Structure 1
Amino acid sequence: MTTVDDLLNLLTLEKVTESEFTGESKTVGSPIVFGGQVLAQAVHAAGRTITNGRVLHSMHAYFLEPGDLNQRITYNVSKVRDGGSFSVRRVTAHQNDSTIFILSASFHKEEEGYNHQIDMKPDLKQPEELLSWTDILHQYGDFLPKGLKSFFEIERPIDFKPTFIPNPMEPKDLPPFSDVWFKLKGNVNGLNLSKKQQILTYISDYNILVSALNPHASKAHWGNTQTASLDHSMWYFRDFDFDDWLLFSMESPSTSNARGFARGNIFTRDGKLIASVAQEGLMRPIKK
C-alpha cells in the first residue's frame, strides 16, 4: 500500500448479508494482522449498519487471537440498541472457527452543547524540521538493527515523523512520552467523516506503545520484547481534514506485569483536538 486509496480499498469490506462483512489483510511488517487494520475494518462494518445518520463517537475493543494474514476475516455486526440519541453496535471478527477480536461502537446524533479541550504541547518541532521513517531508512539504514530496518522498508500510505529519534547504538532510558506527526499519501479530497474516522482508527494503533517502552529503552527494544495490542479504545470529538500534518501525542502512565498502558491525543497542526486513544499492550521480555 502506498496511497490513501490503497488504504481505503483495504478497509472497505465486502458485504455478505445485512450484518456480515468480510475483508482481506495487508502486512505492515509483522507476521500477523496489524491491529489497526482490524480496528478500522470493524468500525467500517459497524458503520455500514447505521442508517440514521449518526456519527461514531467512541469504540472499545479487545484483541483475542493473532490474525492470519493469509485468511480473510469475517465481521459479524449485532444491533445492540437504537435509542433516541445513540446507536450501539457490537462487532465480532472471525477466522475459521476462532473469534479473534470483539468491538463495541457507539454512534450519536448531532447535538449542540458545551465545548472545551486541552491544549497541544507548545514548542514542538514542526514536520518540516524532522525526518520521516523513509528519511531515516535512507540516511541511517546501514546502522539500523535488522528488524527495525525491515520494518521501515515496508511501503505505507502514511508518512510518520517522530519529534525525537533515539540513537539505537547508545540505548538509554527515556521519559514515558512520544510525539509523532503523520500525514496521508495521495489525494485526500472528498473524504467523508466516516472514512476519515476509519483511517484515523487504523493509524491510532501505530506508535502508541513506544511511550510505554521508552522508560526501559536501555535494556528493552522491539527485538527482545514480545509486544501485541491487548485492548484499544478511542473517542472521536471533532471533524477534521487530512490535508495537513496531524500530531499524535502519547504518554504511558504505567508498565507492569508484562503489560504497558499508553494513552494519547490526536491534534490538527493548528491545535484542534480531534480524538483520544487508550491502549494496553503486551510487553513481555523474551527469555533467551
Structure 2
Amino acid sequence: MVDLAEPLVGQEAVDGLIRLLDLERIEHDIFRGVSPKSRWQRVFGGQVAGQALVAAGRTVDPDRRVHSLHSYFVRAGNPTIPIVYEVDRVRDGRSFSTRRVIAVQDGQTIFSLSASFQLVQDGIEHQEPMPDAPAPDTLPLLDDRIGDAAEVAAFYRVLPRPIDIRYVDDPPWQQRAHGPRTGLSRVWMKADGTLPDDPLLHVCVLTFASDMTLLDSVLARHGLANGPDKLTMASLDHAMWFERPFRADDWLLYASTSPSASGGRGLATGRFFTRDGTMAASVVQEGMIRVRS
C-alpha cells in the first residue's frame, strides 16, 4: 500500500470545504475567494465552479433555488492568489432569476458562469430509473483502491479530501489493465462529514464534487488513466441541472457515460441519484484529453 501522507479527511476536511465556499463580500456584487494550500499547480475546476455559484446565490432571494448552471473554464487559475467573483444581476422575474458571474485573477477572466434560480413550483414529474449498484458501505474506501499506483497516490496527497468516494466499477488506474470498456462509470460520493442545513451550500458542494470523476467515463472507453498514462487533461465547460432536493452529506450515486470523443476532447454526461433512487441532478462536461507520446 502506498503511503498517502495522512491527507485531511472527515469532518475536518468538510469544515475546510465549507470555509472555502464562504466567500468574502468586498462590494455589493463582488466577492473574493481563496484556494487551499497545496502543491496543485492550478485551481481545481470544481472549486471555482462552486465558489462562483455561491457568489451568484448570495445575490438572489433565498426562496429561489438554483436549478441550472452553465460554465466555461477559460484559463488555469493560480491557487496562490485570491479569485475575485463579479456578479451581474441579469434579471429578476416573477418566477426566475438569472445571474452571470465572472471569476478574475490578475485582471483576466479565468472562468465564467451563468445560473438560473426559480421559486419552488409544482408541475409534471418523471425521471429515468437509477442504475443498479451495491450499497456504498459495502464498497472499499478510496485508499484501498489506490493499491500500488504511485502516481494516483501522489495526486490524492495534493489536496484535502472532503468528499468520500466509493467506486462501484474499478477506477481508471485499475481498469486500464483490462483495456477499453464501454458502459456506465458508477461512483458513490458524499461529503465526508456533516453540512449545515443550507440548500445553496449543498448544491455548491455537489457542484464541487461533480468535477472529480466525470471524465473517468471518457478514459474507460480507451483503457486510459491519468497518472499511469501520459495525459494532459483539463475541464473545458460544465453544465448542471438540479432537479430535486438532496443533501450532499448523504450518499449519492454518480452514474456517468461518454457518448463521444474527438479533436482532443471528450464528452461526458452524468446523473446523481439519492439512495432511494430519486434523480437529484444531471451533469454534462467536455474536457480536453491529449495523449502525450
TM-score (norm 2): 0.90
**Partner deviation per Cα, 1:231-275 (whole Å, 9 max, x = no partner):** 000000111124532110000000111000001000001101110
Alignment of 1:124-135 (within 5 A): 124-135=133-144
Q: Which segment drifts farther, 199-208 or 236-245?
A: 236-245
User: How far does residue 83 in structure 1 lie from its aligned partner after superposition?
Assistant: 1.1
Question: CA, structure 1 residues 236+28, in 2 after alignment: closer, same or farther (shift >3 Å)?
Answer: farther
Give the conservation status (yes or no) of the 8 Å contact 1:81–1:88: yes
User: How far does residue 187 in structure 1 lie from its aligned partner after superposition?
Assistant: 2.2
User: How far does residue 27 in structure 1 lie from its aligned partner after superposition?
Assistant: 6.3
Distance 2:136 2:38 in 1: 23
Letter in 2 for 1:66: A
User: How far does residue 121 in structure 1 lie from its aligned partner after superposition?
Assistant: 0.7
Alignment of 1:265-284 (within 5 A): 265-284=271-290
| 2:202 is aligned with 1:196 | yes
Distance 2:259 2:176 in 1: 27
**Partner deviation per Cα, 1:149-206 (whole Å, 9 max, x = no partner):** 1123343111101112253672511115310001222223x42211110111101111
Question: CA, structure 1 residues 31+15, in 2 after alignment: closer, same or farther (shift >3 Å)?
Answer: same
User: How far does residue 283 in structure 1 lie from its aligned partner after superposition?
Assistant: 0.5
| 2:156 is aligned with 1:152 | yes
Give the conservation status (yes or no) of the 8 Å contact 1:27–1:34: no
Letter in 1 for 2:152: L
User: 1:173 aligns to what?
Assistant: 180
User: 2:51 aligns to what?
Assistant: 41
Question: CA, structure 1 residues 220+11, in 2 after alignment: closer, same or farther (shift >3 Å)?
Answer: closer
Alignment of 1:232-251 (within 5 A): 232-251=238-257
**Partner deviation per Cα, 1:56-110 (whole Å, 9 max, x = no partner):** 0000000000000101000000011111211100000000121101000000111
Question: CA, structure 1 residues 83+28, in 2 after alignment: closer, same or farther (shift >3 Å)?
Answer: farther
Structure 1 gap ranges (5+)? none
Q: Residue 216 of structure 1 aligns to a residue in which SS?
A: coil
The RMSD of aligned alpha carbons is: 1.8
Letter in 1 for 2:120: E
Distance 2:62 2:80 in 1: 35
Alignment of 1:52-67 (within 5 A): 53-67=63-77
Alignment of 1:43-192 (within 5 A): 43-51=53-61, 53-122=63-132, 124-137=133-146, 140=147, 143-144=148-149, 146-153=150-157, 154-165=159-170, 167=174, 170-188=177-195, 190-192=196-198
Distance 2:205 2:233 in 1: 23
Q: Residue 187 of structure 1 aligns to a residue in which SS?
A: coil
**Taking every aligned residue pair, what percent have the same amino acid on both sides?**
41
| 2:234 is aligned with 1:225 | no
User: How far does residue 135 in structure 1 lie from its aligned partner after superposition?
Assistant: 2.4
Q: Residue 213 of structure 1 aligns to a residue in which SS?
A: helix
Question: CA, structure 1 residues 262+231, in 2 after alignment: closer, same or farther (shift >3 Å)?
Answer: same
Q: Residue 170 of structure 1 aligns to a residue in which SS?
A: helix
Distance 2:112 2:92 in 1: 19
Q: Residue 240 of structure 1 aligns to a residue in which SS?
A: coil
| Aligned partner (choices 216, 221, 227) of residue 222 of structure 2 | 216
Count of residues in correspondence between the two structures: 279
User: 2:4 aligns to what?
Assistant: none
Letter in 1 for 2:180: D
Question: CA, structure 1 residues 41+221, in 2 after alignment: closer, same or farther (shift >3 Å)?
Answer: closer
Distance 1:108 1:258 in 2: 36
TM-score (norm 1): 0.91
Q: Residue 45 of structure 1 aligns to a residue in which SS?
A: helix
